[in-house]
Chain A
């Protein structure tokens, strides 16, 4: 297995599963064996939907998920913040599969609320150390050459509540400040070049300050090197316009770097010779170490992974036999190359199968196709990225950073799966 991590389930695994199924026949927990005596009325009786008619087209000109999926929604943890206007909620990652996050359930984080800004009222200014300060309309932006890229956005505070110990019981709450979308937009480089960078002189020590149009004026300083590398001025996500809560009509995309820098409703880009040291890059999004000094400019989101199912909100309900363990992995340093899963709290590890090859700074789905017969599990996953970085344990992180950090907690998570299939967030030795 270990030498072919990206292949499908091995023949040996297939055989063990089949053997287990055979051996399990007659045990009520094995699917199919218990109700074999009575025919299933869902099959033998003509159901309403097989006889009558369903909705016509246009019943819902813009579709929403069917009512049975009504619990796949963003959720908020009320005690975290003073007010929902300056707050955050969480993506239901425990209930999703694949890698793309639908916009409607992708987490939100606002500092002064989500604003309604029309395309016609949208302006983007580039000023500062540029040859010609420019103003673009939304229409102007759509006339530049466009690109498509899929990237994850993770809030630096994702898993931040778990520093001191296991707190929140659900992957949505511990790891749901993340989403992954395909963006369409113009590179930031294209716009900076349109304004001209000769005036900036040597670009090596230059910065770009970006600012949003909402009342929080959320602004961050980005080194020129990153600005010219892969940042995008995005106006579409997953093929459609950005949602209001994600910065409609235009947001900044800063691949692999903390979500706060992905300024929504971006209205201004200023080329500067130093960082502004704004509130969001000094008093927030800095990391206090054990001795009281703090790290700043910790922009990159390090490699991380999480088992999304089974998990506390997605317990095993199907009884014994085949079990799919699945989860997500990502790295701000590039591609995920491998994910290992442990069922015994880190004593032994198996290499999981990647849904498809890891993509640069995007979510990767992993699967461990396995067998479960009611034994207790301490489920963990650890991601490895293309730089060879291995996702650390919480103990390793605490040894370097102490206990007072909030942001950038990329530790290995443990779910305690019990004999009844329920799971709980725990910390283990």
Chain B
């Protein structure tokens, strides 16, 4: 560990804690609190909850919760990460780094999915679901067969192909030692030719676009001290709309609203209140939603937002639902406000 500090300094840094004075601040963490937050899983399996699942179960759970971004076969949609494939590509010109081809430890997949996924609904999956999803990702990478039961007990049986593919930072030997010489100041090279130009590639964002943003920013900022009342139609409760806008943050990763709204993983929601269910043009709805019928009103929205998958089993929307009634009320009021 002493490679980033001189040995003597390291010894000093590590030496004194025993003599440290305490301030008597904070309180003892309770076991329930530690259990609620301490969920990380280490390569040796420490931290794994009891549970199990196989790729067959996982396929359906993956389709419901993950496929909208990662693709039905973990192949990735748009710029979202590909989770499968890439075997043997790491030394290629454009390596494909997936769970199968790159990730050295299986614990990392479990840990990440368990604590940070699905995107926008983190920490809603049960341990069995996580085991099943991980089994399905392994299956998608041809690393286990579909019956393989992944559990806290079989976890260490899985061999990750790239487990031996990593070395610890060796810059001190391979780089620093070469690059500490007094640098050249004159006649350092014979000629200088341009070998590549950024303007030829032309991938830099246009400044015009940025200036439009500037205007918005400035206007918003200028309005801050004495904000003009929002032009809200009489029937709407402005406070509730504002509250709903906050709740809508949960939805923003997939849904856009407003003038410049674009279709993302979910449809644009302008005008959704009062519209027919599954009516957003060009959006590929799940079968169940496409054939559901009816309109989005207070009743249908309340049912859907409470538990999307309970109302429409098989919906692509991988969101667990809003837990608080007040959030649902606010959200509906907000959706009304973008529907006028």
B228 interface residue per 8 A CB criterion: no
Kindly count the residue-residue contacts between A and B in the assembled complex, taking CB atoms under 8 Å apart. Answer: 315
Partner of B4, one of A113, A300, A384: A300
B90 interface residue per 8 A CB criterion: yes
A419 interface residue per 8 A CB criterion: no
Cα A233 to Cα B82 with chains together (Å): 35
| B23 and A424 contact, CB distance less than 8 A | no
Cα A223 to Cα B1 with chains together (Å): 7
Interface residues of A in 129-163 (CB under 8 A from B): 132-137, 140, 143-144
Interface residues of A in 332-358 (CB under 8 A from B): 340, 344-349
Nearest to A223 among chain B residues (CB) is B1
Cα A76 to Cα B210 with chains together (Å): 9
Q: Mark A83-113, 1 if CB is under 8 A from B, else 0.
A: 1011000000000000000000000000111
Q: Which residues of B contact A293 (CB under 8 A)?
A: 90, 165-167
B108 interface residue per 8 A CB criterion: yes
| Chain B, interface residues (CB within 8 Å), range | 35 or more
Distance in angstroms from A392 CB to nearest chain B CB is 5
Nearest to A388 among chain B residues (CB) is B180
Q: Which residues of A contact B175 (CB under 8 A)?
A: 302, 392, 400
Partner of A347, one of B119, B180, B192: B192
B157 interface residue per 8 A CB criterion: no
| A203 and B17 contact, CB distance less than 8 A | yes
A282 interface residue per 8 A CB criterion: yes
Q: Which residues of A contact B213 (CB under 8 A)?
A: 73
Cα A367 to Cα B225 with chains together (Å): 39
| A297 and B168 contact, CB distance less than 8 A | yes
Partner of A73, one of B69, B119, B201, B217: B217
| A78 and B17 contact, CB distance less than 8 A | no
Q: Which residues of B contact A387 (CB under 8 A)?
A: 176, 180
Cα A291 to Cα B108 with chains together (Å): 24
Q: Which residues of B contact A76 (CB under 8 A)?
A: 205
| A166 and B93 contact, CB distance less than 8 A | no
Partner of A77, one of B69, B78, B112, B205: B205
Cα A359 to Cα B290 with chains together (Å): 62
Nearest to A71 among chain B residues (CB) is B214
Known contacts A277-B42, A282-B103; A82 and B25 CB within 8 A of each other = no
Cα A312 to Cα B204 with chains together (Å): 11
Known contacts A73-B213, A292-B90; A229 and B5 CB within 8 A of each other = yes
| B192 and A428 contact, CB distance less than 8 A | yes
Q: Which residues of B contact A268 (CB under 8 A)?
A: 37-38
Q: Which residues of B contact A228 (CB under 8 A)?
A: 13-14, 17
B288 interface residue per 8 A CB criterion: no
| A135 and B108 contact, CB distance less than 8 A | no
B195 interface residue per 8 A CB criterion: yes
Cα A388 to Cα B95 with chains together (Å): 34
Nearest to A338 among chain B residues (CB) is B183
* Partner-contacting stretch, out of A34-42, A167-175, A177-185: A167-175
A22 interface residue per 8 A CB criterion: no
| A133 and B29 contact, CB distance less than 8 A | yes
Cα A270 to Cα B183 with chains together (Å): 44
A382 interface residue per 8 A CB criterion: yes
Cα A113 to Cα B171 with chains together (Å): 33
A272 interface residue per 8 A CB criterion: yes
B43 interface residue per 8 A CB criterion: yes
Partner of B119, one of A86, A165, A217: A86
A59 interface residue per 8 A CB criterion: yes
| A166 and B112 contact, CB distance less than 8 A | no
B215 interface residue per 8 A CB criterion: yes
Cα A111 to Cα B43 with chains together (Å): 23
Q: Which residues of B contact A276 (CB under 8 A)?
A: 40-42, 111
Partner of B38, one of A81, A135, A140, A270: A270
B221 interface residue per 8 A CB criterion: yes
B interface, CB within 8 angstroms of A: 1-2, 4-5, 10, 13-14, 17-18, 20, 22-23, 25-29, 33-34, 37-38, 40-44, 69, 78-80, 90-91, 93-95, 97, 99, 102-105, 107-108, 111-112, 115-116, 119-120, 122-123, 165-171, 174-176, 178-181, 183-189, 191-199, 201, 203-205, 207, 210-211, 213-215, 217-218, 221-222, 224-225, 246, 249, 252-253, 264
A interface, CB within 8 angstroms of B: 2, 58-62, 64, 67, 70-71, 73, 75-79, 81-83, 85-86, 111-113, 116, 125-128, 132-137, 140, 143-144, 165-170, 173, 189-190, 192-194, 196-198, 203-205, 209, 211, 215-219, 223-226, 228-229, 267-268, 270, 272, 274-279, 282-283, 286, 288, 290-300, 302, 312-313, 340, 344-349, 378, 382, 384, 387-390, 392, 396, 400, 403-404, 416, 424-429
Given contacts A140-B26, A165-B195, A426-B195, 11 further A-B contacts (CB under 8 A): A79-B203, A125-B29, A169-B204, A194-B26, A215-B122, A217-B116, A228-B17, A347-B186, A427-B194, A428-B193, A429-B189
Q: Please list 21 pairs of residues, one from A and one from B, whose beta carbons are closer than 8 Å in the complex, sorted by A's number.
A: A71-B210, A73-B213, A77-B203, A85-B253, A112-B119, A125-B37, A134-B28, A165-B196, A168-B204, A189-B17, A194-B26, A205-B1, A217-B122, A274-B44, A278-B108, A293-B166, A346-B192, A348-B188, A349-B188, A424-B198, A429-B195
Which 6 residue pairs are nearest across A and B when measured between Cβ atoms? A345-B192, A292-B90, A292-B91, A82-B79, A193-B20, A425-B198
